[in-house]
């Protein structure tokens, strides 16, 4: 079968690899229908972080079950399933606390030595605890719904998690720093699921601004840094924002978040801090800020998001603004790295 392989910074190929096999009784093999490229994949592609060479790529996919191990009880061949970007047993103490990304038996698709989602098939460990079957199967799901379901494998749930960490609720005013797929999904989650009344999206890109408004952003702020902080305070009668989603993970984005936070406010951070920003403790201490950070436990959110997609009340599918076959995955990486695409879907 074919799969995307990381060969070094700026170098992604499609190569023939061995077909996945059941190696543990809790495994399943999934034939991939749709996968995608994540913004976090770009850190290694851009050479910001080191990654094993060669290694499989991708952690977001959905597909149909081809085979299951002898201990798998909730899935059968032919099921359409959605996979969160990490596998988990969904039974350990961390999983029961809703932190499946801290599962003692968990792992990440596309990590060294594992199958990646950007391939024709994937071995899924802990299949019962990881995969969520879509009622009705592939025959009952439209192409638009497939796109929406694919978004739930990471960015839709991660954006929603950022808003949950920021303690967004009915009638809230929230700022979203970051106009990538996660930030845009934070706008959607805050408005469509958590009931925020006003969402300020910080974005300078016209296409992303337009999608942000489509997802429910009431204000779009193109400034950055001190200018963005000043605008946020002007729009909130000088008080600042009580709820902020930080969806970038850089020192500059954290400076913005801290600078525009209202006293007693909450920052929900889901931007991966690969550049290791150093956070000063004195400002949060003085201003009574709550800072909630963490990798999104996508498996926790999947059942409700899938239900909403099938009901037609939630659709993050428009974050995929470029689609291409797996064989052109290198072009997809380049397009996202150069910000010519928000998110690339592979078919």
Q: What is the largest CA-CA distance in the chain?
A: 61
pLDDT digits (tens, 9 = 90+) for 84-142: 999 999 999 999 999 999 999 999 999 988 999 999 999 999 999 999 999 999 999 99
Integer-rounded Cα Rg, in Å, for the chain is: 20
| Number of compact structural domains in the chain | 2
pLDDT score, position 277: 77
Domain with residue 76: its CATH number is 3.90.180.10
pLDDT digits (tens, 9 = 90+) for 126-176: 999 999 999 999 999 999 999 999 999 999 999 999 999 999 999 999 999
48 shares its domain with 170: no
273 shares its domain with 339: no
- Alpha-carbon gap, residue 118 to 4, rounded angstroms: 6
Question: DSSP class of residue 328?
Answer: G
pLDDT band at 275 (very low <50, low <70, confident <90, very high): confident
Q: Encoding tokens for residue 75?
A: 């899935």
Its domain, for residue 17, covers 2-154+297-346
Query: Mean pLDDT throughout 186-196?
Result: 98
Residues 6+ positions from 136 with CB-CB distance below 8 Å: 80
pLDDT digits (tens, 9 = 90+) for 205-258: 999 999 999 999 999 999 999 999 999 999 999 999 999 999 999 999 999 999
pLDDT digits (tens, 9 = 90+) for 296-339: 999 999 999 999 999 999 999 999 999 999 999 999 999 999 99
CB of 120 within 8 A of CB of 326?
A: yes
74 shares its domain with 108: yes
Domain boundary among 266, 293, 320: 293
Angle, in degrees to the nearest 10, between helices 155-165 and 181-188: 60
Instruction: Report pTM.
Output: 0.97
266 shares its domain with 319: no
pLDDT score, position 274: 79
pLDDT score, position 63: 98
Coil/strand/helix, residue 45:
helix
CB of 342 within 8 A of CB of 188?
A: no
pLDDT score, position 33: 98
Phi and psi at 331, nearest 5°, equal -65, -35
């Amino acid at each position: 079968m074919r799969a995307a392989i990381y060969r070094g910074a700026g170098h992604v190929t499609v190569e023939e690899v061995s077909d996945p096999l059941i190696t543990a009784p809790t495994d399943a093999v999934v034939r991939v229908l749709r996968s995608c490229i994540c913004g976090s994949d770009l850190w290694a592609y851009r050479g910001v972080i080191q990654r094993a060479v060669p290694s499989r790529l991708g952690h977001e996919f959905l597909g149909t079950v081809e085979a299951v191990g002898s201990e798998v009880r909730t899935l059968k061949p032919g099921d359409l399933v959605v996979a969160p970007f990490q596998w988990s047993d969904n039974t350990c103490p961390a999983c029961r606390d809703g932190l499946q990304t801290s599962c003692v038996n968990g792992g990440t698709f596309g990590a060294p030595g594992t199958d990646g989602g950007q391939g024709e098939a994937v071995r899924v460990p802990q299949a019962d605890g990881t995969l969520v079957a879509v009622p009705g199967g592939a025959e009952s799901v439209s192409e638009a719904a497939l796109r929406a379901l694919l978004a739930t494998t990471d960015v839709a749930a991660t954006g929603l998690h950022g808003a949950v960490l920021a303690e967004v609720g009915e009638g809230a005013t929230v700022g979203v720093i970051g106009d990538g797929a996660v930030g845009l999904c934070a706008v959607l989650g805050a408005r469509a699921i958590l009931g925020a009344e006003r969402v300020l999206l910080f974005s300078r890109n016209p296409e992303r601004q337009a999608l942000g408004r489509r997802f429910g952003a009431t204000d779009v702020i193109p400034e950055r840094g001190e200018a963005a902080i000043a605008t946020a305070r002007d729009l909130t009668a000088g008080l600042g924002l009580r709820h902020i989603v930080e969806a970038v993970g850089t020192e500059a984005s954290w400076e913005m978040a801290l600078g525009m936070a209202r006293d007693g406010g909450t920052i929900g951070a889901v931007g991966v801090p690969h550049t290791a920003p150093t956070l000063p403790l004195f400002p949060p201490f003085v201003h009574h800020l709550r800072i909630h950070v963490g990798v999104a436990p996508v498996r926790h959110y999947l059942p409700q998001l899938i239900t909403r997609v099938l009901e037609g009340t939630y659709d993050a599918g428009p974050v995929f603004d470029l689609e291409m076959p797996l064989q052109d995955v290198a072009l997809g990486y380049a397009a996202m790295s150069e910000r010519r695409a928000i998110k690339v879907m592979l078919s």
